[in-house]
Amino acid sequence: MTSHSPPSILQLRDATTDPNYGKNPEERTLEERLQLGIVNLDKPAGPTSHEVVAMLKRILNLSKAGHRGTLDPGVTGVLPIALSKGTKVLDALLLGTKTYVTNMRLHDDVSNKRLQEVLAEFAEQIYQTPPLKSSVKKILRKRRVHRIEYLERDGKNVLFLVEAQSGTYIRTLCVDIGRVLGVGAHMQELRRIVSGPFSERENLVTLQDLVEGVILRQDYNDEKKLRESILPIEKAVELAPKVWVSDGAIDPICNGSPLAVPGIVKMTNNIQKNGLVAIMSLKEELIALGIAQMNTAKITNSQKGIAVIPRSVLMERGTYPRVKK
């Protein structure tokens, strides 16, 4: 749904990975996915996002789960929920854009030409104050609307698509559009169809799907449905800047040591200093999230120095052996 092109990958040095340690995320057992997994949940209308997370925890018998990008009770759609240790990567979900299909109710008549002109005006950087129903502090904030696409209209009901920066309030956007039109408007219905790397077109599951998966596992020893419902946590960092490291660099990172430039085998070309970075193994396992101390160009042109400081470590110590010096 988004037009943003993926970053390119820069190879810095040659390296291989030992097949005796670690594993590709797709090869994890169901129990491992319950500890390092994420569910692309289709939130139903009615309960709050926190209530939906609580339901999921009861269904899967988990003590910990969490989400980012809260949806109001009446809003439906994509709500990624990280499981157990996977909650450490929730900040990565804020990196991507969100896409919504919105039903806006106009308070008076306006021409289609004028309506579409005003919609187009909002596809830029905008200023918003969170709505009264929101629980966050009511301060003016800047947000980027990447795209607004008029879909259809039935009298005063207008259906349109919005792709926007995380934290954009669509309810407030509808009110502002109505104000510019001079007729007033409010949001009637809202569905989120994309949240960062998660989409309603791929791997979207319902709470009922999870219930059925648990029953199949308990009564018939069939884990297929439940396994397919829980994605590897690596899906959450699909859009994040990344560095891939050698096997020998992994255990020090798991013990909290910073990542030095010589440990990096390859990286994406979009790393920004002080930005969030996913530290990956050569088997595509997420080792940790960290804060970059250099940008892409600096890492490329350096032979030494600290490149990334780990902040949230997911991989267990001892998964890869410590290299003897």
Q: What is the pLDDT of residues 156-197, one digit of tens each?
A: 999 999 999 998 999 999 999 999 999 999 999 999 999 999
Global pTM value: 0.92
Sequence spans of domains, the chain:
9-21+235-313, 98-195
Per-residue pLDDT at 225 exceeds 90: yes
Place of tokens 């994605």: 231
Token readout for 115 is: 């309506």
pLDDT-derived band at 1, boundaries 50, 70, 90:
very low
Specify whether the CB–CB gap between 314 and 288 falls below 8 A. yes
Q: Known catalytic residues?
A: 72
Calculate mean pLDDT across residues 12-17: 97
| Start-end of H helices in the chain | 30-35, 49-60, 112-121, 170-181, 207-220, 224-229, 247-254, 296-300
What would the pLDDT profile of 240-268 be if each residue is shown by its tens digit? 999 999 999 999 999 999 999 999 999 99
> Strand 231-232 and strand 306-313: pairing?
unpaired
CATH topology of domain 9-21+235-313: 2.30.130
Query: Would you tell me how many other CB atoms lie within 10 Å of the CB of residue 233?
Result: 26
Residue 140, phi-psi category: left (phi > 0), alpha (psi -120 to 50), beta (remainder) = beta
CA dihedral sign of residues 252, 253, 256, 259: positive
Strands (DSSP E) found in 87-227: 98-106, 125-128, 141-154, 157-164, 185-195, 198-199
The CA distance from 82 to 49, in Å, is: 13
The CA distance from 95 to 269, in Å, is: 16
Place of tokens 């005063």: 156
CATH number for the segment(s) 98-195: 3.30.70.3190
The CA distance from 202 to 309, in Å, is: 33
Specify whether the CB–CB gap between 120 and 146 falls below 8 A. no
Calculate mean pLDDT across residues 8-15: 96
If one compares 3 and 285, the residue with the highest pLDDT of the two is: 285
